[in-house]
Amino acid sequence: MDAFATITQRRMTGGFRIDGIDDKNLHLDPGPGALVRSYQFGVNPLKLHGILVSHSHTDHYSDAEVLIEAMTRGMTRKKGMVIGSPSVIKGYQKWGPCISEYHLSKSKVEVMEAGDVFRFDDIKITATPTIHGDPKNIGFRLEWDGFTLSYTSDTAYFEDLHQHHQNADVLIASVIRPDNEKIRGHLCADEFQLLLEETSPKLAIMTHLGMKFITDHPVQEAINITRKTGIKTLAAQDGMVINLDKFRQQQQTLDEY
C-alpha cells in the first residue's frame, strides 16, 4: 500500500460502493473515511447489504467494522453479508484478523480464497488471485444479470492475471505508479495498459493511485491509455459517480470514492 497517500489523504481512501446489484448495495474495501465519505457523497451506509474486504492492509479494511455497525443498525439486527479473505476474517500468520468476532456476529460471513466461488443470492462472486504482501489477498469478480464487474485489488502483474478478469464489462484495478515505474506487489500504468489489451473491457478504471501518480497527471495518463488501447479508461477521482447505462441494458451505478 502507499502509506503516504493514506496518511495525507491526498486522495480519499474509502474504497468504492456499487448500488443496485440485484437490489443490493455493496461496499468494497472500506478503508479510512468510508463511513464519513458515504454521507458526504449522499450514499446511506445503513442501506448496505454486503461488505467485501480483499486483504489485511489498513487502507482496505479500517472502516469495515463501523460499516458493519451501520449495516446492522448498531449491531441490533441480524443483517447483511461480510465477505473477506482468510487474513481479514480469521487471520493468517502475521496478517489480521481485521474484523472482531463481535462485529461478525450479526451478519452472514463468507471466507474466500483465490478460486472460490460464492453466490450471494443472484450475484456470483469469484475470488481472483493476486501477488501482494498479504499472501491471502484476493480480487473480486462480480457477475449478475449478464453483467460482469471485475476488481483486481492490489496485485503485481503476472502472466495469468488477465485470465481471471476476461470478459469483464468494467475492470477496476489498483494502479499505484505512473508509466513503467514498477513497485513490488502493485500495478504500474504500463502494466495496466497491457492488462487492458489482454482483457478488452468496455470500461477501465484506475484507482488506489499512489502519491507520485496523484501528482503526475493521472487524468492525462488515462487519456493516453484510452488512445493507445481504444478502451475507455478513467483515473478515479474523489466522489466519482459512474452510471453504467452505457455498459449494460439495465441501469446500475458505481460510486467511486
Q: What is the DSSP string of 2-52?
A: -HHHHHHTSS----EEEEEETTEEEEES--TTHHHHHHHTT--GGG--EEE
Query: pLDDT of 186-197, one tens digit each?
Result: 999 999 999 999
Which helix (H) or strand (E) covers residue 104, if one does?
helix 101-104
Give the pLDDT confidence score for residue 247 in this predicted structure: 76
Among 2-11, 84-93, 114-123, 158-167, the minimum mean pLDDT is found in: 2-11
Is the pLDDT reported for residue 241 higher than 80?
yes
Q: What is the pTM of this model?
A: 0.92
From the list 225, 135, 210, the residue with the least C-alpha distance to 171 is 225
Distance, first Cα to last Cα, the chain: 17
* Angle CA 27–33–38, to nearest 5: 50
Q: Report all structural domains of the chain as residue ranges with CATH numbers, in order of start.
A: 3-249 (3.60.15.10)
Cα torsion for 123, 57, 11, 237, to the nearest 10°?
-20
From the list 168, 165, 167, 185, the residue with the least C-alpha distance to 176 is 185
- What phi and psi values does residue 33 have, to the nearest 5 degrees? 95, 0
Q: Could you tell me which residue, 240 or 216, shows the higher pLDDT? A: 240
Helix (H, G, I), strand (E, B) or coil at 225: helix
The number of helices, as runs of H, and strands, as runs of E, in the chain is: 9, 15
Distance separating alpha carbons of residues 232 and 204, to the nearest angstrom: 6
Percent share of the chain, pLDDT over 90 = 79
